[in-house]
């Protein structure tokens, strides 16, 4: 079975850094995705990790440890527009199916 | 943005009526998916398709059926809608998974369905 755990909500100040952790247990593994979802909108792709280590994309970075079943998304220099839900989604070994965590709602305050 | 549309965008229906949601893509992607999103549950896969007339069940498929007669269209049908199927439904598409590429899923704008 699949089990993905991430915090429900986090609050941070504009300009600060926030780290969203995700632990997962999946039957087979072929990469992990992070999506951003603003309220009332569709999820949009943020990052992808398939090998251990850190992937950096501008203000956003994502880390993966396959042996620990652990990933995090790091948001730097927070802006008000970063207020959104962030979804962790490992991909199984077969097909192209993702299993989504419940999402972490990040609230950025001035 | 990937060319994905969903129709209708909003629908209110009554318990026991049939409902069909349509997902249309212009990207010629092989995979198509239907998810539902509910507070406290995140996105859950209902059904997916890996080609024309090739479909399979997801984790919450009971009460739903799908059809894909053309690459660009993926239909989700609720044969007899129930109040527990009130939700936001998202369609997604992705390309064939290669071992060295992202093949991320792109999402449609969603359909808000209310079953009274």
| pLDDT tens digits, one per residue of A65-81 | 999 999 999 999 999 99
Q: What is the mean pLDDT of residues B2-30?
A: 95
Tokens representing residue A79 in the block: 């802006």
The dihedral built from the CA positions of residue A91, A27, B96 and B79, taken in this order, carries a sign that is negative
Q: Which residues contact A56 (CB under 8 A, 6 or more apart)?
A: none
- Tell me, what's the pLDDT at A93? 76
Cβ of A98 and B105 within 8 Å?
Answer: yes
The mean predicted confidence, pLDDT, of chain B is 93
Alpha carbon of residue A106 to chain centroid: 11
| Burial zone of B109 (CB within 10 Å; 0-12 exposed, 13-18 middle, 19+ buried) | middle
Rounded CA separation B52/A72 (Å): 36
Band of pLDDT at residue B54, cut at 50, 70 and 90: very high
The residue assigned the tokens 């077969």 is A94
Confidence (pLDDT) at A26: 84
What pLDDT sits at residue A87? 97
What pLDDT, on a 0 to 100 scale, did the predictor assign at position A30? 87
- Report CB contact under 8 Å: B42, A101: yes
Q: Distance between CA B10 and CA A56 in Å, rounded?
A: 38
pLDDT on residue B98: 61
Residues 6 or more apart whose Cβ sits within 8 Å of residue A40: none
Minimal Cα distance from A103: which residue of B?
B42
Please, which pLDDT band fits residue A92 given cuts at 50, 70 and 90?
Answer: confident
Mean local confidence (pLDDT), B15-31: 95
Partner residue facing A103 (CB), from B42, B109, B110: B42
A87 contact residues in B (CB cutoff 8 A): 42-43
Give the pLDDT of residue A97: 87
Segment B5-20 mean pLDDT: 97
Tens of pLDDT along B58-112?
999 999 999 999 999 999 999 999 999 999 999 999 987 665 567 899 999 999 9
């Amino acid at each position: 079975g699949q089990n993905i755990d991430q915090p429900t909500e986090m609050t941070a100040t504009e300009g600060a850094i926030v780290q969203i952790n995700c632990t997962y247990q999946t039957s087979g593994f072929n990469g992990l995705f992070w999506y951003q979802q603003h309220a009332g909108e569709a999820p949009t792709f943020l990052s992808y990790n398939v090998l251990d280590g850190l992937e950096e994309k501008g203000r956003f970075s994502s880390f993966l440890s396959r042996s620990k079943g652990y990933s995090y998304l790091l948001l730097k220099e927070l802006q008000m527009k970063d207020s959104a839900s962030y979804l962790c989604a490992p991909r199984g070994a077969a097909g192209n199916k993702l299993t989504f965590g419940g999402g972490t709602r990040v609230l950025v305050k001035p | 943005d990937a060319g994905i549309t969903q129709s209708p965008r909003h629908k209110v229906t009554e318990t026991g009526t049939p409902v069909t949601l349509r997902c249309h893509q212009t990207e010629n992607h092989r995979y198509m998916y239907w998810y539902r999103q509910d507070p406290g549950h995140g996105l859950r896969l209902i059904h997916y398709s890996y080609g024309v007339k090739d479909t399979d069940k997801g984790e919450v498929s009971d009460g739903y059926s799908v059809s894909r007669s053309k690459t660009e269209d993926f239909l989700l049908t609720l044969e007899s809608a129930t109040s527990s199927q009130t939700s936001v439904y998202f369609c997604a598409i992705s390309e064939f998974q290669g071992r060295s590429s992202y093949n991320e899923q792109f999402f449609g704008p969603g359909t808000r369905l209310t079953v009274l």
